[in-house]
């Protein structure tokens, strides 16, 4: 039985961009010193999939110890400028183009990311990827809410799958009764193999092996 609906994460699934985002986050906060920068990047890697807005809020409140709207806005703006340029040139992951070509003609495919929604839509349009998707969704709305809203567009008996590379992706899938496949080649999640074993999750190195085998 094939899936009626496919939801994909962006970073580490469609684009090989996790390492680029880590670099851009580090560059954004480097003026605060190497210690805080290292702590922030470790937090970022342990909380894959949450939005930049949550991450910079955490950085200022919990690591710097002082939050101001002007600092927060400056960090968000600097990161947005850096990351947009990086994502325009980020490599597409192996098998992603063929996967999208194979499935999007007959199956509704959606992108659900922790990245900024307007930014994602602009980048995917520039990279000629928009037409593969029935919808491209990102922050500030959460992945759980996006998945719930997508499911409401369809019959409640549909069978859907979320392909992601983080614990948060799995939790979003689980909350909406979607199957989940963990994509491992580009994840920041160091303990992904143990996590997949503990949760009895299917995994794939990239999207290529799933072409014709997504059921």
Token code pair at residue 143: 């992945």
Alpha carbon 89 to chain centroid distance?
Answer: 17
Contacts of 54 (CB under 8 A, 6+ apart): 47
Distance, CA of 175 to CA of 10 (rounded, Å): 19
What pairs with residue 139 in β-bridges?
A: 116
Sign of CA dihedral 215, 171, 175, 25: negative
pLDDT at 1 over 70: no
Closest to 17 in 3D by CA, of 79, 93, 81: 93
- Rounded alpha-carbon distances, angstroms, from residue 197 to 160, 201, 203: 21, 6, 10
Residue 31 pLDDT > 90, yes or no?
A: yes
User: In this predicted model, what pLDDT tens digit does every residue of 48-83 receive, in sequence order?
Assistant: 777 889 899 999 999 999 999 999 999 999 998 888
* Strand partners for 164: 182
Q: What is the dihedral of CA 62, 141, 208, 123, to 10 degrees?
A: -90
In the prediction, which pLDDT does 45 show? 84
Give the rounded percent of residues in the chain with a pLDDT score beyond 70. 99
Of 101, 165, 94, the C-alpha closest to 128 is 101
Question: For 177-187, how does the pLDDT look when each residue is reduced to its tens digit (9 = 90+)?
Answer: 999 999 999 99
pLDDT value at 171 more than 90: yes
91: nearest Cα among 158, 10, 182: 10
What pLDDT is recorded for position 44? Answer: 87
- Using DSSP, state whether 161 is helix, strand or coil: strand
**Each residue of 194-206: pLDDT tens digit?**
999 999 999 999 9
Provide the pLDDT for residue 126: 93
Tell me how far apart the alpha carbons of residues 8 and 102 are, in angstroms, rounded to a whole number. Answer: 14
In which band, very low, low, confident or very high, does the pLDDT at 10 lie, cut at 50, 70 and 90?
very high
Considering the four listed CATH numbers 3.40.50.1000, 3.30.720.200, 3.30.1360.10, 3.40.640.10, the one that applies to the domain covering 5-16+91-210 is 3.40.50.1000
Could you give phi then psi for residue 155, rounded to 5 degrees?
-60, 145
Whether the pLDDT of residue 91 is over 70: the answer is: yes
What average pLDDT does this structure show over 98-127? Answer: 94
- Residue pair 116/138 in contact (Cβ under 8 Å)? The answer is yes
Q: What digits encode the pLDDT tens for the residues 94-109?
A: 999 999 999 999 999 9
Return all residues near 110 (Cβ < 8 A) that are at least 6 apart: 5, 6, 7, 8, 133, 134, 135, 136, 137, 150
Do residues 15 and 85 make contact, with C-beta atoms less than 8 angstroms apart?
A: no
């Amino acid at each position: 039985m094939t899936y009626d609906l496919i939801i994909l994460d962006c970073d580490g699934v469609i684009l090989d961009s996790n390492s680029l985002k880590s670099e851009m986050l580090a560059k954004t906060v480097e003026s605060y010193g190497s210690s805080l920068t290292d702590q922030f990047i470790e937090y970022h890697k342990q909380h894959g999939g949450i939005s930049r807005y949550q991450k910079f809020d955490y950085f200022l409140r919990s690591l710097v110890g002082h939050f101001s709207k002007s600092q927060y806005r400056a960090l968000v703006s600097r990161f947005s400028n850096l990351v947009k340029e990086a994502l325009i040139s980020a490599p597409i992951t192996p098998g992603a183009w063929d996967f999208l070509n194979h499935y999007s003609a007959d199956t509704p495919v959606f992108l659900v990311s922790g990245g900024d929604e307007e930014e994602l839509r602009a980048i995917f349009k520039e990279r000629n990827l928009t037409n593969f998707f029935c919808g491209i969704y990102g922050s500030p709305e959460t992945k759980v809410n996006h998945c719930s809203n997508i499911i409401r567009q369809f019959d409640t008996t549909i069978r859907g799958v979320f392909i992601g590379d983080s614990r948060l992706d799995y939790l979003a899938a689980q909350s909406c009764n979607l199957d989940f496949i963990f994509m491992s080649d580009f994840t920041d999640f160091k303990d992904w193999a143990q996590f997949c074993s503990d949760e009895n999750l299917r995994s794939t190195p990239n999207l290529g092996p799933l072409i014709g085998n997504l059921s």
